[in-house]
Amino acid sequence: MTDSTTVPTAAPPAAGPPGPHRATLPIVLTGVFLGGLDFFIVNVAVPAVQRDLHATDAQIQLMVAAYALTYGVGLITGGRLGDLYGRRRILALGMALFTAASAAAGAAPTADLLIAGRVLQGAAAALMAPQVLGIITTSYQGPARTRAVGWYAAASGIAAVFGQLIGGVLIRADLFGLGWRACFLVNLPIGLAAATAAARLLPESKAPGRPRLDLTGLALATAALTALCLPLIEGREQGWPLWTRLLPVAAPLLLAAFTLQQRRLRRRGGTPSVDLALFRERAFTAGLAAQLVFWASMASYFLVFALYLQQGRHLTPIASGLVFSALGAGYVAASATARHLAARIGRHAITAGCALRAAGLLLELWAVAGDGRSPGWLLPGLLLDGAGMGLSFAPLTATVLARVPAASAGSAGGVLTTGLQVGNALGVALIGLVFYRVLADTPGPGAVPAAFRACLWCVLAATGLLALIVQALPGRRAERRRPDGPPPLPGARYGRPPRSSGMRSPASTAAGRRFPAGGSGQVARSV
């Protein structure tokens, strides 16, 4: 029990600032959910779009991958704009632009205009995503922030695994005769409501000082990521012209130029787009690679599975979405225990998730080996596969960020988000090469199942690679020995942090205009 009369101050201590508005988390999670949903919801719409708009295979790949590519390369710019002009303002702007881009995509009369709408959607999502982590960082402290980040991870995962089901329901309902267009137009009322609520209810926050936009760094990073992904998407359809061979060679050179430019900018006292000191931490570098591989395997799997169900098994979009719901059930069940399991066994929880995924994929390979088997035989494998995804995602993100200094948490979160989106784009591009190559080389009705089986082996190999990369993450003993490191994950038996009300420290203002003491707030230095 403490006695306030013993405090040697002239006035009693001021009460801490009030906590964030109770609508803060639902509003920002709406942005997360919409951004993730619109990558995956189109998978079940692919056959209908291809029939309606007479789209080529390359246009279908680009429709899916262009969103993730624009999203990934735009995150740097989105984060910096949030630093300069305020995270609430840029989040609301991003939501409004996302809504407008969704309307354009839903009304597109041609495949090329649909792709243009997807590019605009990705750019708008890149404005939203960095602000979400920044607002969470400046609005919540201690265990409350951990819970908010957990909800952030859950919203991303649920959007991924249930996106196909939502898309199938919308196409089956055929609201107002819209068909597949409803997958985009459903964003209109949600986006408008979220943008209005964000502008009115969220606290405003900016980076301290007046950071400048690093236009050179942004251009180099965008060029490098585009040079890496675009040839993989367009090369097969165009017969691999010279530019598709030169750009992948240029990509590492552009990344090297970006690194040198960022170091030079730091030495001159500027504010680089990416905190390169993060990459001196082995756990962060390994975690970034793990995130990229994890999401590449997820995005590629969801795309080819949707194609297999509708083109190979001739299921309707709603039936295809219901099959995907088995993945969702496994994901939700495993996610409920993932944080507690990670607190007990650390990185081995992610390894266990990889093992579950591998077992599920092997069962799926067995289920699709015979042409006469019912799609119901896929369900056991899908449950295990979804459980493996759920057991891996949140612990992976939390384990990587646990060793990042508080002052770099925003930048680290942004870099990981970029790895996620680039993984999505690369996964779709690479799996498309495999799927359509096998499809072209296999005659007869068994072509689609054969292509899907080849892709499953690729996803299985990626899962094994992920399990190997995870071994480079720190174990619980290493975290315990680190005297200057951050506290372990909440709930761990060792070093359990004291409970907190979740209110921000007195060093931050109630409106969130300043950053919490020791906090990051540097989301704008996000990739």
- Please provide the CATH number assigned to the domain covering 275-490: 1.20.1250.20
DSSP structure string for 314-358: ---HHHHHHHHHHHHHHHHHHHHHHHHHHHHHTTHHHHHHHHHHH
Asked if 395 and 349 touch (Cβ cutoff 8 Å), the reply is yes
Q: What pLDDT sits at residue 268?
A: 87
Tokens of 177: 């005769």
pLDDT of residue 10: 45
The pLDDT assigned to 359 comes to: 97
pLDDT of residue 165: 85
Q: What is the pLDDT along the chain (527 residues), one digit of tens a residue?
A: 444 444 444 444 444 445 677 888 999 999 989 988 888 888 888 889 999 999 988 888 888 888 988 888 888 778 778 878 888 999 999 999 999 999 999 999 999 999 999 999 999 999 998 888 778 877 887 778 778 877 887 787 788 778 888 888 898 888 888 999 999 999 999 999 999 999 998 888 877 766 677 889 888 988 998 898 888 877 877 888 999 999 999 999 999 999 999 999 988 887 787 878 888 888 888 888 998 999 999 989 998 998 899 888 888 888 888 888 888 888 888 887 887 887 788 888 899 999 999 999 999 999 988 666 777 889 999 999 999 998 988 788 777 776 666 556 556 666 877 888 889 888 988 998 899 899 989 888 889 999 999 999 999 999 999 999 999 887 665 555 444 444 333 333 333 343 443 433 333 333 333 333 333 333 333 33
- In this prediction, residue 527 carries a pLDDT of 32
Angstrom distance (rounded) from CA 323 to CA 267:
54
* 21-198 and 275-490 share one fold: yes
pLDDT of residue 406: 56
Residue 256 half-sphere exposure toward CB, CA atoms < 13 A: 5
Alpha carbons within 13 angstroms on the beta-carbon side of residue 455 total: 33
Give the pLDDT of residue 371. Answer: 60
Domain ranges of the chain: 21-198, 215-272, 275-490
pLDDT at 194: 94
Reported residue count of the chain is 527
Start-end of H helices in 370-446: 379-401, 409-441
pLDDT at position 87: 87
Predicted confidence at residue 476, as pLDDT, reads 61
Question: Residue 149 phi/psi, 5° resolution?
Answer: -65, -35
Which architecture, in CATH terms, is 21-198?
Up-down Bundle (1.20)
Compute the chain's Rg from CA coordinates: 23
Cα–Cα distances in angstroms (integers) from residue 33 to residues 27, 95, 129, in the given order? 10, 12, 10
In angstroms, the first-to-last Cα distance of the chain is 46
pLDDT at 102: 96
* Maximum CA extent, the chain: 87
Contact 83, 524 (CB under 8 A): yes
Residue 123, pLDDT score: 93
